[in-house]
Amino acid sequence: MFLQPAVDTFVTLQAGLKPNSIKSDFYFDMEYCVEFSTFQTLRTQTSENKLECCADVTPTESTESILEDKSFSKELLVLDLYSGCGGMSTGLNLGAKISGVDVVTKWAIDQNLAACESLKLNHPQTQVRNDSAGDFLQLLKEWGKLCKRYVRNNGHTTDTLNPENSTKEATESSSSTEDDSEPEEYEVEKLVDICYGDPDKTGERGLKFKVHWKGYSSNEDTWEPAKELSNCQDAIREFVTSGFKKNILPLPGGVGVICGGPPCQGISGYNRFRDVDSPLTDERNQQIVVFMDIVEYLKPKFVLMENVVDILRLDKGSLGRYALSRLVDMRYQARLGIITAGCYGLSQFRSRVFMWGADPNMKLPPFPLPTHDVIVRYGFPLEFERNVVAYSEGQPRDVETALVLKDAISDLPHVSNNETRERMSYESLPETDFQRYIRSTKHEEQAYEDESHQEI
């Protein structure tokens, strides 16, 4: 690679100076387009095609070109942050399957217990954690230390157990049986879970293990601080090595995609009390920082972050600029786009900001072009209008008619004011493609996607 010397070699020689730079060349085939906030294929820099170069932010490269990269794995493990019921990772999974990529939601985290239970019910293979993202990051760091201590390369355990600790455990257990007058001793049978925080609301935060006690049912399992289990090295080692093999928690370099939408209560224009002058100092907006900190620690191949459009409006878009700059600072290829749900077959305008990040060894995914016309409801931040994912002027387009509310709910049965039933049957067959899709089962849904892809 060649970097042009700061002082031209010819000028240096003319001045009678000895050149101190090594002759080399710097080649590159990608550039960053500030106007569209994206990396893109380099074009010849002429006045005639400069605008065309930036206009190529609208996706024209096929997904097959992304998969041509030999370093790209056909299976990507996903960590879904602020997952809710798992809508974002599920949509990512469905879209990836059309492209021939197997995306597996391996881990998910959310603070809402009901959402976690719903996600677990629909995705039993996913490791779902009801926790805050900040505590989850601390847990990941502690888990990394445990794996480094107890697990060798390729999943082999450390050489020997600690005989001193094993003897001490056995002594404590036997002494409790010999003298019934002493307080009852509890013996750890095994560890069944791990967390960071204060699950029992005791006021003491830190790394904790969930202990299953010998002779007791699982209903009696308790969370115990790791520092109080120093005499249970065998149990800790067994839990860590088993968890490592089962991949219960992600480790740096082991994640394919991190996706998520940090909470937007401190950003949304509907919040009349938001901090409009310094939004990044608002505690409610700190989750954007936590999201990027998790990305920095785990170093996934791809990052996909979603948020409300006000992230580009509030304080001249400082929060959006912060998120984009963090991705670039971590050496990710980055791309920002504003996508409107109505452009993809939904009966609402709803726009959101999406940021793609891709490892330098990967191909940066394009945003999908609209499939439907849309009824425009409101505008976009003027400074970021060129980031709206749309067809370029003069570009051929073949889109379907815009959907309205009737297309989504005209098949629903009538509901009176005195209705007591929690479940009702449809009274008619689906009347639109959207209704047919929304009624489909998981397997029918995949078949529908495959059929739609074939038609395209």
* Cβ-contact 101, 256 below 8 angstroms: no
Residue 37 within a domain: yes
Report whether pLDDT(343) > 60: yes
SS3 86: coil
Q: How many angstroms separate the CA atoms of 32 and 25, rounded?
A: 20
At 13-27, the pLDDT tens digits run 455 555 565 566 666
Task: Give the N- to C-terminal CA distance of the chain in Å, as an integer.
Answer: 41
Mean pLDDT of the 272-292 span: 84
Does 447 map to a domain? yes
Q: Give the integer Cα–Cα distance in Å for 425 and 161.
A: 61
Whether the pLDDT of residue 441 is over 90: the answer is no
For residue range 235-272, list pLDDT tens digits in order.
Answer: 999 999 999 999 999 999 999 999 999 987 788 767 77
Whole-number Cα distances in Å, 369 to 60, 65, 302, 303: 9, 16, 20, 20
Lowest average pLDDT, out of 108-112, 163-167, 230-234, goes to 163-167
- Residues 410, 431: contact at Cβ < 8 Å? yes
353: nearest Cα among 390, 398, 320: 320
The 10s digit of each residue's pLDDT in 131-141 is 999 999 999 99
Which DSSP string corresponds to 4-30? --SS-HHHHHHTTPPP-S-------SE
In angstroms, rounded to a whole number, what is the distance separating the alpha carbons of residues 427 and 315? 50
Q: Scan for tokens 């100092």, then name that residue.
A: 281
Say yes or no to pLDDT of 322 above 70: yes
Please give the average per-residue pLDDT across 117-123, as a whole number: 95
Is 452 domain-assigned?
yes
Q: 84 in helix, strand or coil?
A: coil
Q: What order of strands is seen across the sheet that includes strand 257-260? A: 30-33, 38-41, 333-340, 351-358, 302-308, 257-260, 75-81, 102-110, 127-130
Residue 111 included in any domain:
no
Would you say residue 388 has pLDDT above 80?
yes
Report residue 72 CA to chain centroid gap: 18
Confidence of residue 74 (pLDDT cuts 50, 70, 90): low
For residue 286, give Cα distances in angstroms to 289, 290, 323. Answer: 5, 6, 11
| pTM of structure | 0.80
234-243, 274-283, 390-399: range with highest mean pLDDT: 234-243
Within-domain flag for 69: no
Range with the poorest average pLDDT among 25-34, 67-76, 161-170, 356-365: 161-170
pLDDT band with cut points at 50, 70 and 90 for residue 57 = very low
Q: Please give the pLDDT value at position 103.
A: 93
C-beta neighbour count of 254 within 10 angstroms: 14
Q: Is the Cβ–Cβ distance between 309 and 337 less than 8 Å? A: no
φ/ψ of residue 429, rounded to 5: -75, 160
pLDDT of residue 17: 56
Q: Which residues contact 269 (CB under 8 A, 6 or more apart)?
A: 310, 313, 314
Alpha-helix runs per DSSP H in 410-441: 433-439
Q: How big is the CA angle at 219 (ends 198 and 237), to the nearest 5 degrees? A: 65
Q: 156 pLDDT band (50/70/90 cuts)? A: low
pLDDT tens per residue, range 350-381: 999 999 999 999 999 999 999 999 999 888 99
- The pLDDT assigned to 173 comes to 41
- Judged against a pLDDT cut of 60, whether residue 69 lies above it is answered with no
Residue 453 has pLDDT above 90, yes or no: no
Relative to beta strand 127-130, strand 188-197 is unpaired
- The confidence score (pLDDT) of residue 97 equals 85
Is 110 inside any structural domain?
no
What pLDDT is recorded for position 448?
53
What tokens were used for 435?
A: 């209704």
Biggest alpha carbon distance in the chain?
98
pLDDT number for residue 423:
92
Confidence of residue 285 (pLDDT cuts 50, 70, 90): confident
> Which H helix or E strand runs over 92?
helix 87-98
Mean pLDDT of 145-156: 78
Tokens in use for 185? Answer: 């001793």
Instruction: List, by residue number, the catalytic residues.
Output: 264
Per-residue pLDDT band at 71 (split at 50, 70, 90): very low
Judge whether residue 439 has pLDDT over 80: yes
Q: Beta partners for 304?
A: 259, 356
Per-residue confidence (pLDDT) for residue 445, from 0 to 100: 60
Does 456 reside within a domain?
A: yes
Residue matched to tokens 């042009």: 4
Q: Half-sphere exposure of residue 185, counting CA atoms within 13 Å on the CB side?
A: 18
List helix spans (H) across 179-309.
233-246, 287-298
Between residues 14 and 382, the one the model is more confident about: 382
What is the overall mean pLDDT for the chain?
A: 82
Question: In this model, does residue 39 exceed pLDDT 80?
Answer: no
| 3-state class (DSSP) for residue 220 | helix
Note the pLDDT of residue 98: 83
Mean pLDDT of 32-44: 71
The two three-digit tokens of residue 26, written as one number = 């710097």
Which domain range does residue 36 map to?
9-47
- Based on the structure, what is the number of domains in the chain? 2
Higher pLDDT: 430 or 37? It is 430
387 located within any domain: no
Q: For residue 442, is pLDDT > 50?
A: yes
